[in-house]
């Protein structure tokens, strides 16, 4: 697989699917065979990035290929991979509705079936830390824990992960839809009915093993 091309195309998807604006957000994927991590460059227009702009690091974050500065959140991506062997793609987005809840330090619960299938756990907010800091990376990893596939970054945005880039994008899209619906329900002066733990477990099992051709 051409992982550099995958990062380039994913950057275009990130911006055109309205999951971020301008040059915000970042993307990485991990090659399961080599352990190499492919990262988007810092502060570049997603529609202008080409394969030569992609940075390749080893599992410790040491650059082994690339002439650009990597995303300022490189440490965040590296730490997620070190703590989550089930993860091979990381998306940092600035999607509108989810980020609104991030600014509140809120938790988005799994009241929607699609969210129950892909979130892993409720989507919680990591404690605030400066962008690009190791503190932010550590707060994010702590909030994700061993099961969650997404978290909110306080006053910042979201982090969505997956076994591959397709799965990470699914989490990001479902998170934004869920946040939008949650906002609508709260605006009605209501709270959504929770889905039982038993049904959440059943849906996650179905989505993982049965929802496919």
Look over the chain and give the mean of its residue pLDDT values, rounded to a whole number. 95
User: How much is the pTM?
Assistant: 0.94
Task: Classify domain 3-209 by CATH architecture.
Answer: 3-Layer(aba) Sandwich (3.40)
Tokens read off for 64: 């082994």
Query: Is pLDDT above 90 for 171?
Result: yes
Residue 100 burial class via C-beta count within 10 angstroms: exposed 0-12, middle 13-18, buried 19 and up: middle
Query: Is pLDDT above 80 for 16?
Result: yes
Q: Where are the alpha helices (DSSP H) in 19-164?
A: 74-83, 96-104, 113-118, 134-144
Query: Is pLDDT above 70 for 115?
Result: yes
Give residue 8's pLDDT.
98
Task: Kindly list the distances between the CA atom of residue 148 and the CA atoms of 20, 43, 92, 157, 172, in Å, as whole numbers in the listed order.
Answer: 21, 28, 15, 16, 13
Backbone angles phi, psi at 8, to 5 degrees: -60, -50
Task: Kindly list the distances between the CA atom of residue 53 and the CA atoms of 24, 36, 65, 73, 170, in Å, as whole numbers in the listed order.
Answer: 16, 16, 10, 16, 25
Q: Using CA atoms, how far apart are residues 173 and 169, in angstroms rounded to an integer?
A: 6
The catalytic residue among 33, 73, 138, 146 is 73
Active site residue 65: no
């Amino acid at each position: 697989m051409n992982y550099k091309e995958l990062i380039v195309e994913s950057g275009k998807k990130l911006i055109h699917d309205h999951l971020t604006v301008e040059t915000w957000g970042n993307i990485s994927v991990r090659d399961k065979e080599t352990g190499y991590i492919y990262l988007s460059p810092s502060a570049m227009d997603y529609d202008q990035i080409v394969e030569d702009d992609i940075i390749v690091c080893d599992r410790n974050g040491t650059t082994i290929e690339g002439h650009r500065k990597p995303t300022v959140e490189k440490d965040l991506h590296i730490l997620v991979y070190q703590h989550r062997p089930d993860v091979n793609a990381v998306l940092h987005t600035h999607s509108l509705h989810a980020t609104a809840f991030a600014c509140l330090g809120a938790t988005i619960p799994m009241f929607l079936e699609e969210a129950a299938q892909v979130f892993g756990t409720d989507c919680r907010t990591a404690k605030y830390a400066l962008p690009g800091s190791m503190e932010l990376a550590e707060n994010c990893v702590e909030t994700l824990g061993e099961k969650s596939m997404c978290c909110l970054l306080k006053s910042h945005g979201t982090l969505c992960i997956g076994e591959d880039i397709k799965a990470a994008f699914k989490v990001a899209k479902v998170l934004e839809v869920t946040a939008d619906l949650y906002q609508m329900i709260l605006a009605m002066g209501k709270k959504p009915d929770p889905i039982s733990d038993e049904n959440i477990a059943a849906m996650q099992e179905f989505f993982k093993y049965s929802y496919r051709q």
